[in-house]
Structure 1
Amino acid sequence: MPHKTPTLILVHEPEKACFDRLVADGYPKERAIEISSYLAQSTDLAPEFGLLAAACDKRGLAFTAVELDDAASVLAKADPDTTLVWTLTDGVAYFRGGAVPAMARLNGLRTIGADDALFALCQDKFRSGAVLGALGLPVPQAGLARDGKWLVEPPASAAGWFVKPNRLGAKIGIWPDSRVSELAHALELSRRVFSHYRDDVVVQPYVAGRNVRASFLGLNPETGVEALGIFFVDSGGDFQTMADSMALYGDTGQAAKDAGTYVEPELEPVGASLSAADRKIRAIAERLMSGLGLRDVFSVDFRVEPDDTVHLIEFEVCPGLPCFDFRDYCRTRWGMSLSEAMAETAVKRLVVKSSRRA
């Protein structure tokens, strides 16, 4: 029988494809630009596809980058014995990448990352919060509002509330006034979000503390929470806004780099100052892996108070791989560039699969 080259297929949804679809669906161009900007990791990683192909080739793998609209036909022709599918972007509302793991499963293909159910769950923050709470994890309780009306009223909060979209990059507040002291203001923000993005809002009690990102790449299949990179991510503000997010990634971020105005948030290991919080975060991540099914590659966002109190905000099954923090994680934890770390992760999965079939 002829030798079959093991292949890594990376499926990604480009910003422009999403933008064009949103405009065709009636979104104003400004809103379509904002929404599609969440796919900036596709824009940021595309120039490095050559590096990723070279890193794969060095390890005996072929590499193919596939745009989402072509994924169904490509995956239908792929060989289940030698193919691994890595989905770069998730989404079930504005974005459609969450369909890829299901398409891979339909064609008997192995995947990197969580199963397809979590690709949908993580993008609905109200539902995912309910599941995380059921697992006994420290996620803030939430209310849900749609266009100025409560679907679920939020709990009382002496510290006020934080308002964020339910399905659109929902760890951020879209505007600087996303922290509110009156629930009437929360309902006003829900009307604004519905008008701009056709989305509900999650309204949670405001929790104090610094923003923390826990990144994970299981270079080896048996890798556990000891490999988490847990860092404070300080950007100078209490929380990230839509404008802050757009300034870091994609075409806007590149323009800032070209102009010399690009400033990355500072990263500081949590364990260096709050060792108890570091341990709590690892325990939470272990619970997410065993109880929820996170694996291979993911990130989790937290708020951590000075007394080591930890608040779980959200998890992501498609972390921003080309973002500054994940690149730093690959360098500091694995001693590799992003492309080398991705290729090494892929070859370890394909080698394990081949050895089990032998």
Structure 2
Amino acid sequence: MAKPLLVLIHEPEKACFDRLLADGFDAGHAAEISSYLAQSTDLEPEFGEIGRACAARGLSFLPLRLDEAANGLSGRDPGSTLVWTLTDGVAYFRGGAAPALARLNGLRIFGSDDSLFALCQDKFRSGAVFAALGLPVPAAGLARDGRWLVEPPASQDGWFVKPNRLGAKIGIWPDSHCRDLDGARDLSHRIFTRYRDDAIVQPYVAGRNVRASFLAAAPQTGPEALGISFVESGGDFQTMEDSLALYGDTGTAAKANGAYAEPELVPVAASQSAADRKIRAIAAKLMDALGLRDVFSLDLRVEAGGAVHLIEFEVCPGLPCFDFRAYCRSQWRMGLPEAMAQAACARLEMK
């Protein structure tokens, strides 16, 4: 049998940016959209360290750019190859093709089924699935260029408006919490004009932002291994500008000039243990009913009284981001490269 191999497939920002330009997007908006792939930019300098962590565990490591994946996966040994996709994507991004390519070649996949790569990037559809599972997700409307496709429910506290298929806070501005539906339609027009996307419109939920991170760095890992933290960024919610300052080239520049400032992570269990338990129960339901596994994250809001609201999920969380690195240190007592290598070994059932 061949030596076990971890293949990490990643889509570079520039490849996405160039495609968007060719499709007629404004350069500034194309740069915002492609910033979703900043984890590819941020992780690439660590490929050598990941390779060494893998080698120390008897595992070979091969990073592949997405455009090389079809050829790079062809002919690999199904018994010894594990494919880990760094970034999801079915609309603006193409990472969702990678697990499908792995399956086509009969290769094992680290992470969730490829169908979830599509679901997680459509907030309106994933919310409908959450609701069908009985999970606490805000109801939602859907607008396209100022026109209602689905009217949103009434709300005394206004509505929150964001792109339906874009992550990394793209298209979230300081006025994304609007007080009337005319404002929500205006925001959907702005989103459509800039990003050609529909807007999901949900009743505004008060509370604090929570990130729940998961990595199966040991066999039979369950919801007990979740890292669940309040993300304190200094505001009610993070905007696109806040996000851009943390990752990719913008984040690197911010670090160089001393302007980089990470949000504070505070364990939810320290002050709201009941909310922590509710979130673990939500994760357990998603792992059982939806098939989340290996690596994922959840975004939630928790009210002062303990009510929990599930906002969205990611099958490819930002591994090199500050919050996931902190999770690896606190839960697994490892840096990111070591945690990735250990998780790959656990998936391959290597000792």
TM-score by length of 1: 0.96
Shift of 1:306: 1.1
Aligned equivalents of 2:168, 2:190: Cα separation in 1: 15
Is the contact between residue 219 and residue 349 of structure 2 (CA under 8 Å) also seen in structure 1? no
User: Which of the residues 202, 221, 224 maps onto 2:222?
Assistant: 224
Q: Hey, which bits of structure 1, 4+ residues long, moved more than 6 A?
A: none
**Residue equivalent to 2:120:** 122
**Residue equivalent to 1:27:** 25
Unaligned stretches of 5+ in structure 1?
none
Aligned equivalents of 1:221, 1:160: Cα separation in 2: 44
**Residue equivalent to 1:69:** 67
Aligned equivalents of 1:204, 1:40: Cα separation in 2: 27
SS in 1 for 2:229: strand
**Residue equivalent to 1:54:** 52
Matching residue's letter, 2:265 = L
Residues 305-320 of structure 1: matches in 2 within 5 Å? 305-320=303-318
Residues 28-47 of structure 1: matches in 2 within 5 Å? 28-47=26-45
Matching residue's letter, 2:2 = K
What are the Cα deviations for residues 48-88 of structure 1, in whole angstroms up to 9, with x where unaligned? 00000000000111100000001011111211111000000
Is the contact between residue 173 and residue 239 of structure 1 (CA under 8 Å) also seen in structure 2? no
Aligned equivalents of 2:332, 2:47: Cα separation in 1: 20
Aligned equivalents of 1:263, 1:162: Cα separation in 2: 25
**Residue equivalent to 2:251:** 253
Aligned equivalents of 1:77, 1:237: Cα separation in 2: 50
Shift of 1:172: 6.4
Matching residue's letter, 1:41 = Q
Matching residue's letter, 1:290 = D
Aligned equivalents of 1:256, 1:57: Cα separation in 2: 33
Is the contact between residue 138 and residue 310 of structure 2 (CA under 8 Å) also seen in structure 1? yes
Shift of 1:205: 0.2
**Residue equivalent to 2:151:** 153
Aligned equivalents of 1:86, 1:286: Cα separation in 2: 22
Matching residue's letter, 1:186 = A
SS in 1 for 2:48: helix
Shift of 1:326: 0.4
**Residue equivalent to 2:138:** 140
What are the Cα deviations for residues 118-163 of structure 1, in whole angstroms up to 9, with x where unaligned? 0000000000000000000000000000001000000000010000
Aligned equivalents of 1:217, 1:209: Cα separation in 2: 26
Shift of 1:4: 1.3
**Residue equivalent to 1:79:** 77
Structure 2 CA distance for partners of 1:173 and 1:157, relative to 1, 3 Å: farther
Aligned equivalents of 2:15, 2:120: Cα separation in 1: 22
What are the Cα deviations for residues 177-220 of structure 1, in whole angstroms up to 9, with x where unaligned? 10011101100111110000000000000000000000000112
What are the Cα deviations for residues 298-338 of structure 1, in whole angstroms up to 9, with x where unaligned? 00010001111100000100000000010000001000000
Aligned equivalents of 1:346, 1:39: Cα separation in 2: 22
Shift of 1:351: 2.9
Shift of 1:253: 0.3
Unaligned stretches of 5+ in structure 2?
none
User: Which of the residues 286, 296, 299 maps onto 1:298?
Assistant: 296
Shift of 1:174: 1.9
Shift of 1:173: 5.3
TM-score by length of 2: 0.98
**Residue equivalent to 1:342:** 340
SS in 2 for 1:9: strand
Structure 2 CA distance for partners of 1:211 and 1:172, relative to 1, 3 Å: farther
The CA RMSD over aligned residues, in Å, is 1.1
